[in-house]
Amino acid sequence: MDIGITLFAQVLAFTILIWLVNKYMWGPLNDVMEARRAKISDGLSASEQGKKDMERAEQQAQEMLKEAKQEAASIINQAQTRSSQIVDEAKTTAIEEADRVKAGAQAEIDQEVNRAKEALRKQVSDLALIGASKVLGKEIDAKAHQDVLNDLVSQL
């Protein structure tokens, strides 16, 4: 149990061993482990990044889909509005056209009726003249009985 020079020998040995372990064991191994740690953490952060990117892309896709759906819906809406508009317009035009045609026809009918009436009046007056001349047996001057004839015609 003598403490002596051995103590100093052991101090020296311990000191040198610390230095050697630091240089040849801890140093290189720690470098390797540090490198691995960095690699793993890089990989993890990259995967995290990738996951985030994917999420963002998915979100974007979702948004685009939503937008497209909205657009489609609005286009359909527009088309419907437009089509009903067109139908309405066509209806209005058709009604107008029909009215016009009807009015034209009516006018023509009226005209025709008037003409027929006119012709009939004339014939009535002629017939009256002829009949009267036959009854009287002589020629009747149309001019002389113009007033009577006109009166007759207007009564028809």
Partner 1 sequence: MSAAEQSSGGGSVEYIQHHLANLNVGGFNIDTIGWSLFLAGVILFMAHKVRSNLQAGTPGPFQNFVEMILEFVSTQVKDSFPGHNPLIAPLALTVFLWVWLMNFMDLIPVDLLPAIAHGVGIEHFKVVPTTDLNTALAMALVIFGLTLYYNIKVKGLGGYLKMFLFHPFGKYAIPANIVMTGIEELAKPLSLGLRLFGNMFAGELVFLLIALMTLGATLSAGLLIWFPLQVVLDLVWLMFHILVITLQAFIFMVLTIVYLGMAHQKADEH
- Binding residues (CB under 8 A) for partner 1: these are 1-11, 13-15, 17-18, 20-22, 24-30, 32-33, 35-36, 39
Q: Which is nearer to partner 1, 9 or 65 (CB)?
A: 9
CB of 72 to partner 1, least distance (A): 53
3-state SS of the chain is CCCCHHHHHHHHHHHHHHHHHHHHHHHHHHHHHHHHHHHHHHHHHHHHHHHHHHHHHHHHHHHHHHHHHHHHHHHHHHHHHHHHHHHHHHHHHHHHHHHHHHHHHHHHHHHHHHHHHHHHHHHHHHHHHHHHHHHHCCCCCCCCCHHHHHHHHHHC
Q: Which is nearer to partner 1, 7 or 142 (CB)?
A: 7
Q: Which is nearer to partner 1, 39 or 117 (CB)?
A: 39
CB of 45 to partner 1, least distance (A): 18
